[in-house]
């Protein structure tokens, strides 16, 4: 049985390592230029090389996004950058622009090319065209339903990838001018201001007194804001449809988001591999996905045209039930102490939860808390402060600490 690759976002080197440790088969990242996530941490060439070394040592692939819609001025520096990526040994580049595809073929012919979702591949004729251009994978548009995906699979042999989790764009796979028009930040060059998620009021100038009903919460109305995608329940159908890679959105999300979502989909794919006929979504997986910062979930267009409740206004723009408090860097089994790098304040007496690589969780009350000199402290209030923390059981490096909001001071 061919189980799809689990492809995770890597906004920076730390997130890349977390994605690998928590079960990704591949990661995708962007350099400091030519990438559609300008406000992610992104990677220098040295960091790309370090990421490739870390990932390849663990059997994980690395894909680099070069998926802007290039302007003439971009073409001067691109050839050098592409050659550098080829020399580093990345496993593929992700492109959307035919000109960039041509440059890859001319300057770095050893680099496999994945076609970005930005290219809006929505039918099998387009997929066949790109296959004939020599791309080694097509990332399908997010607007496709299951039957459309199946038809494309029947018509082409090139590997196919789809998004299965994360933020959805209200426009066709990111092709939007709203941000550029309103703020000067071009979504098609990686600098989207997410203007679709701002507050709006709908008024028809020539029909005074006539109003369209809109849902809203205490902060305003979000008439363009899509819910987040979650296709966890459709893994059997995705495998049956011949999808080769399942992609998680989130290069600007936190390490906590990346690790948690990757861990859940890893467990789900492994459960399906072990017993396809009895696959079902576990409640604990859904609970885990509810612990990261997210909008309400939807299946998008996958099961057919979305109903208004799935794609229209949402009851609240973000749900943040947990606070990410720290990352375990080291663990001393002789003393039962973890060296933790703080990410949000936590203190003695609070109840924290630990997420371990592999997906297991446990909770404990903070009792023993010490600074790096082993002097007792009451709290860890400083960003990235390193503290020693007594734990009731052994943990692995990269285990994450989080706190339910009800425990927050």
> pLDDT of 328-364, one tens digit each?
999 999 999 999 999 999 999 999 999 999 999 999 9
Residue 317 domain-assigned? no
Q: For residue 324, give the nearest of 345, 306, 300 by alpha carbon.
A: 345
pLDDT at residue 203 in the model = 64
* 239 vs 246: CA distance, rounded Å: 10
Tally of structural domains, the chain: 2
Average pLDDT over residues 30-55: 85
Asked whether residue 264 falls in the same domain as residue 166, the answer is: yes
pLDDT of 121 over the 90 cut: yes
For residue 99, the tally of other CB atoms under 10 A from its CB is 15
pLDDT at residue 174 in the model = 58
Asked whether residue 69 falls in the same domain as residue 162, the answer is: yes
What crossing angle do the helices spanning 13-21 and 255-274 adopt, rounded to 10°?
30
Share above pLDDT 70 across residues of the chain, in percent, rounded to a whole number:
81
Asked whether residue 106 falls in the same domain as residue 18, the answer is: yes
* 397 vs 357: CA distance, rounded Å: 8
* End position of a domain, from candidates 245, 276, 311: 311
Q: pLDDT class for 239, splitting at 50, 70, 90?
A: very high
* 26 vs 8: CA distance, rounded Å: 6
For residue 206, the tally of other CB atoms under 10 A from its CB is 5
Residue 255 domain-assigned? yes
Asked whether residue 19 falls in the same domain as residue 103, the answer is: yes
Contacts of 219 (CB under 8 A, 6+ apart): 199, 316, 317
Asked whether residue 102 falls in the same domain as residue 245, the answer is: yes
User: Which range is least confidently modeled, 110-114, 138-142, 212-216?
Assistant: 212-216
Asked whether residue 331 falls in the same domain as residue 393, the answer is: yes
Asked whether residue 276 falls in the same domain as residue 245, the answer is: yes
CATH code of the domain covering residue 344:
2.40.30.10
Beta strands in 220-321 (DSSP E): 228-230, 245-248, 297-298
* 403 vs 409: CA distance, rounded Å: 11
Asked whether residue 157 falls in the same domain as residue 232, the answer is: yes
Domain of residue 380, residue span: 322-407
* End position of a domain, from candidates 311, 331, 360: 311
User: Could you tell me the two tokens for 259?
Assistant: 């690790």
Residue 117 domain-assigned? yes
DSSP state of 330: E
* End position of a domain, from candidates 290, 311, 332: 311
pLDDT at residue 168 in the model = 73
pLDDT of 172 over the 80 cut: no
Calculate the average pLDDT of the chain: 87
Asked whether residue 282 falls in the same domain as residue 151, the answer is: yes
Asked whether residue 265 falls in the same domain as residue 339, the answer is: no
Asked whether residue 73 falls in the same domain as residue 148, the answer is: yes
Asked whether residue 279 falls in the same domain as residue 372, the answer is: no
Q: For residue 329, give the nearest of 282, 270, 273, 395 by alpha carbon.
A: 395
pLDDT at residue 300 in the model = 81
SS3 percent helix, strand, coil of the chain, rounded to 5, is 30, 20, 45
**What are the pLDDT digits (tens) for 276-325?**
999 999 999 999 999 998 888 888 888 776 654 444 444 445 678 899 99
pTM: 0.86
pLDDT at residue 160 in the model = 98
pLDDT of 212 over the 70 cut: no
User: Could you tell me the two tokens for 221?
Assistant: 């109305």
Residue 220 domain-assigned? no
Share above pLDDT 90 across residues of the chain, in percent, rounded to a whole number:
69
User: Could you tell me the two tokens for 38?
Assistant: 């300008």
């Amino acid at each position: 049985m061919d189980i799809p690759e689990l492809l995770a976002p890597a906004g920076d080197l730390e997130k890349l390592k977390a994605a690998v440790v928590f079960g990704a088969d591949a990661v995708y990242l962007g350099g400091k230029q030519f990438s559609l996530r300008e406000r992610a941490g992104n990677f220098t060439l040295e960091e790309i090389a370090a990421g490739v070394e870390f990932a390849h040592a663990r059997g994980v692939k690395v894909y680099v996004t070069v998926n802007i819609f290039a302007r003439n001025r971009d073409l001067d520096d691109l050839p050098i950058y592409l050659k550098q990526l080829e020399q580093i040994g990345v496993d593929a580049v992700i492109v959307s622009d035919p000109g960039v595809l041509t440059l890859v073929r001319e300057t770095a012919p050893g680099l496999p090319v994945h076609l970005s979702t930005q290219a809006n591949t929505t039918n099998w004729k387009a997929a066949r065209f790109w296959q004939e251009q020599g791309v080694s994978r097509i990332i399908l548009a997010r607007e496709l339903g299951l039957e459309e995906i199946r038809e494309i699979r029947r018509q082409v042999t090139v590997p196919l990838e789809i998004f299965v989790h994360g933020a959805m764009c209200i426009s066709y796979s990111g092709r939007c001018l709203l941000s550029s028009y309103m703020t000067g930040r071009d979504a098609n060059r990686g600098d989207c201001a997410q203007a679709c998620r701002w507050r709006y009021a709908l008024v028809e100038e020539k029909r005074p007194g006539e109003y369209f009903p809109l849902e809203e919460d205490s902060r305003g109305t979000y008439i363009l804001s899509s819910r987040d995608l979650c296709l966890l329940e459709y893994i059997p159908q995705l495998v049956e449809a011949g999808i080769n890679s399942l992609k998680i959105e989130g290069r600007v999300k936190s390490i906590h988001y990346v690790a948690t979502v990757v861990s859940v989909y890893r467990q789900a794919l492994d459960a399906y591999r072990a017993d396809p006929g009895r696959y079902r979504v576990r409640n604990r997986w859904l609970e885990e996905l509810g612990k990261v910062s997210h909008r309400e979930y939807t299946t998008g267009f996958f099961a057919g045209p979305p109903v208004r409740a799935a794609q229209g206004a949402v009851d609240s723009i973000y749900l943040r039930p947990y606070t990410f408090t720290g990352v375990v860097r080291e663990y001393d089994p002789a003393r039962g102490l973890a060296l933790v790098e703080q990410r949000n304040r936590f203190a003695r007496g609070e109840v924290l939860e630990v997420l371990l690589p592999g997906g297991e969780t446990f909770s404990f009350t903070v009792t023993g808390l010490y600074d790096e000199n082993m002097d007792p402290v009451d709290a860890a209030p400083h960003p990235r402060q390193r503290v020693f923390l007594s734990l009731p059981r052994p943990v692995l490096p990269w285990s994450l600490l989080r706190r339910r909001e009800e425990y927050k001071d």
